[in-house]
């Protein structure tokens, strides 16, 4: 095989290696360093360096046999960058007599001291990405026209690599900025939701903090059911907002200290559908929040409202909010009645599982509470919401354990309305 053919194959192989190196997802500096070594190896050069242009500065990215000191002394003006676009190779050869490159002429002596023989710009999309400094060939020969072509091709590859890296950095910066903005929006959204919840509760003087607690109970149940963090956050929001429709219901009806009549009751029962109307046009970061509000008074047996949906027609999120809502109603005092005992509440949950509540949801809630009672969970969030005196009964753990067993037993379907 002829020497020139061998050289061509060698160069071609080096370019392929270089392409792979540049396209790889590895460390940027390592990529430039390996690329430079490939370049030096292909032409058997003694030394070389790759520097990035950052405004008027040249920053060393990789160097071999060239001291970093030289880069501290180099700067390049806009006009000098322009020279690279129009200059000839001979302008950038240190050994030739002063050419038209002001940049090379300015530092010719310094380059000679460092035994730099050739300066090559990396131009990508008409922009100077940086420069490559190359030393002499180990053989002492001058650069041949073939060498120049090889060097040009490889330098262009490295330039594209650096350019791509910069683009990726910009994309990463943008992505980070977007993430931060998105996080800010979510924070604003959450704060808005909480003030909404406070506004809802303020309208109903007997149910202070109800929406907030329903949000928290819903979140605890969903987490116990193995939902993802995003879904858990979504249902918490749904809990906070489940009664938002009450904002359009007459305050006197909401606050009536007596059993309301049929007309008043139908007015009050408008609130889930009204809530849906309020929430549906909002672009929530979580799915189904309007539907959870709309269906939080539906029952598995179809006797709920507003649509009388049955079991599998009711979204699971609405079933969770429904239980959280009822549990909070049973365990807080109202002006016309005291809250019910825990034993009584457990009885209610057992009796109404399969007709009003979904047994799986009730079981999940009972499991979460049992973990707290047994001291198995880090925080005692449900216990705190119920107040320290509420779960004093030593039977609490047993009541919960029995409820869980009953609801998860094979025969539990027998209690279903179906
Ligand atoms: Fe409600």
**Encoded tokens for 68:** 């970093």
Give the H/E segment covering residue 176: helix 145-203
Rounded distance between C-alpha atoms, residue 62 and residue 155, angstroms:
13
Spatial CB neighbours of 200, under 8 Å, sequence gap ≥ 6: 211, 241, 243, 244, 246, 247
How far away, in angstroms, is 235 Cα from ligand 1 center? 15
How far away, in angstroms, is 265 Cα from ligand 1 center? 12
pLDDT of residue 30 exceeding 50, the answer is: yes
How far away, in angstroms, is 400 Cα from ligand 1 center? 26
**Encoded tokens for 390:** 């509420």
pLDDT confidence of residue 7: 65
Using a 10 angstrom Cβ sphere, with 0-12 exposed, 13-18 middle and 19 or more buried, the burial of residue 60 is buried
Report whether 222 contacts 237 (CB < 8 A): no
How far away, in angstroms, is 241 Cα from ligand 1 center? 10
**Encoded tokens for 409:** 């037993």
How far away, in angstroms, is 243 Cα from ligand 1 center? 5
Q: How far apart are the first and last CA of the chain?
A: 86
How far away, in angstroms, is 294 Cα from ligand 1 center? 9
Q: Tell me the percentage of the chain whose pLDDT exceeds 90.
A: 44
pLDDT of residue 241 exceeding 90, the answer is: yes
How far away, in angstroms, is 315 Cα from ligand 1 center? 16
Rounded distance between C-alpha atoms, residue 340 and residue 307, angstroms:
29
**268 compared with 207, residue with greater pLDDT:** 268
Mean pLDDT of 67-86: 84
**410 compared with 63, residue with greater pLDDT:** 63
In three-state secondary structure terms, 411 is: helix
How far away, in angstroms, is 226 Cα from ligand 1 center? 25
Mean pLDDT of 347-359: 97
How far away, in angstroms, is 388 Cα from ligand 1 center? 26
**322 compared with 8, residue with greater pLDDT:** 322
How far away, in angstroms, is 9 Cα from ligand 1 center? 78
Spatial CB neighbours of 362, under 8 Å, sequence gap ≥ 6: 323, 349, 353, 403, 407
Mean pLDDT of 355-381: 95
How far away, in angstroms, is 290 Cα from ligand 1 center? 13
How far away, in angstroms, is 282 Cα from ligand 1 center? 20
- Which residue spans within 281-385 are E strands per DSSP? none
How far away, in angstroms, is 361 Cα from ligand 1 center? 18
**Encoded tokens for 49:** 């360096």
How far away, in angstroms, is 272 Cα from ligand 1 center? 6
Cis before residue 306, ω within 30 degrees of 0?
A: yes
Mean pLDDT of 4-28: 66
Nearest to 92 by CA among 107, 77, 78: 107
Question: Could you give all domains of the chain from N- to C-terminal order, each with its CATH number?
Answer: 3-173 (3.30.450.40), 204-415 (1.10.3210.10)
How far away, in angstroms, is 271 Cα from ligand 1 center? 7
Report whether 276 contacts 245 (CB < 8 A): yes
Rounded distance between C-alpha atoms, residue 363 and residue 260, angstroms:
33
Band the pLDDT of 418: cuts 50, 70, 90. very low
pLDDT confidence of residue 4: 60
How far away, in angstroms, is 270 Cα from ligand 1 center? 10
pLDDT confidence of residue 8: 60
**Which pairs count as long-range contacts for 134-137, CB under 8 Å and 24+ apart, including other chains?**
134/39, 134/40, 134/43, 134/45, 134/47, 134/48, 135/45, 135/46, 135/47, 135/48, 135/65, 135/66, 136/45, 136/46, 137/43, 137/44, 137/45, 137/46
Rounded distance between C-alpha atoms, residue 296 and residue 314, angstroms:
9
Q: Over the range 382-392, which residues count as b (16 or more CB within 10 Å of their CB) and which as e?
A: bbebbeeebbe
Nearest to 102 by CA among 72, 128, 79, 126: 79
How far away, in angstroms, is 90 Cα from ligand 1 center? 83
How far away, in angstroms, is 50 Cα from ligand 1 center? 68
pLDDT of residue 6 exceeding 80, the answer is: no
**335 compared with 77, residue with greater pLDDT:** 77
How far away, in angstroms, is 415 Cα from ligand 1 center? 26
How far away, in angstroms, is 209 Cα from ligand 1 center? 14
How far away, in angstroms, is 372 Cα from ligand 1 center? 27
Could you give the strand order of the β-sheet that contains 127-135, starting from the edge strand earlier in sequence? Answer: 57-64, 48-54, 127-135, 116-124
Mean pLDDT of 38-51: 90
**15 compared with 109, residue with greater pLDDT:** 109
pLDDT confidence of residue 416: 47
**Encoded tokens for 227:** 């939902």
């Amino acid at each position: 095989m002829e020497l020139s053919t061998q050289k061509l194959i060698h160069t071609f192989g080096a370019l392929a290696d270089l392409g792979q190196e540049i396209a790889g997802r590895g460390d940027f500096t390592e990529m430039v360093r390996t690329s430079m070594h490939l370049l030096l190896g292909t032409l058997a050069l003694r030394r070389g360096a790759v520097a990035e242009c950052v405004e008027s500065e040249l920053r060393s990215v990789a160097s071999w046999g060239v001291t970093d000191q030289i880069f501290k002394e180099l700067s390049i003006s806009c006009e000098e960058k322009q020279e690279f676009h129009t200059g000839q190779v001979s302008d950038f050869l240190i050994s030739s007599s002063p050419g038209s490159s002001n940049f090379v002429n300015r530092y010719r002596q310094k380059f000679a001291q460092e035994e730099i023989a050739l300066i090559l710009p990396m131009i990508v999309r008409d922009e100077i990405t940086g420069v490559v400094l190359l030393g002499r060939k180990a053989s002492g020969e001058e650069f041949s026209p073939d060498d120049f072509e090889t060097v040009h091709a490889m330098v262009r590859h490295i330039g594209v690599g650096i350019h791509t890296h910069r683009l990726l950095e910009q994309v990463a910066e943008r992505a980070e900025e977007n993430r931060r903005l998105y996080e800010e929006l979510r924070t604003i959204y959450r704060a808005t939701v909480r003030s909404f919840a406070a506004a809802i509760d303020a309208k109903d003087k007997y149910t202070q903090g109800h929406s907030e607690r329903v949000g928290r109970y819903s979140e605890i149940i969903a987490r116990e059911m193995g939902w993802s963090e995003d879904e858990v956050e979504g249902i918490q929001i749904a809990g906070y907002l489940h009664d938002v429709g009450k904002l359009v219901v007459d305050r006197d009806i909401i606050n009536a200290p007596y059993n309301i009549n049929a007309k008043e009751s139908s007015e009050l029962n408008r609130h889930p559908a009204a809530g849906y109307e309020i929430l549906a046009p909002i672009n929530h970061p979580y799915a189904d929040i309007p539907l959870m509000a709309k269906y939080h008074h539906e029952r598995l047996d179809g006797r709920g409202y507003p649509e009388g949906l049955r079991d599998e027609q009711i979204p699971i999120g609405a079933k969770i909010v429904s239980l959280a809502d009822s549990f909070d109603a049973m365990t807080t005092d109202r002006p016309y009645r005291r809250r019910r005992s825990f034993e009584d509440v457990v009885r209610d949950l057992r009796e109404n599982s399969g007709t009003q509540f979904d047994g799986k949801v009730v079981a999940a809630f009972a499991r979460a509470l049992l973990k707290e009672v047994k001291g198995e969970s880090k925080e005692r969030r449900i216990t705190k919401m119920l107040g320290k005196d509420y779960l004093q009964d030593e039977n609490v753990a047993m009541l919960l354990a029995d409820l869980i067993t009953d609801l998860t037993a094979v025969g539990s379907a027998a209690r279903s309305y179906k």
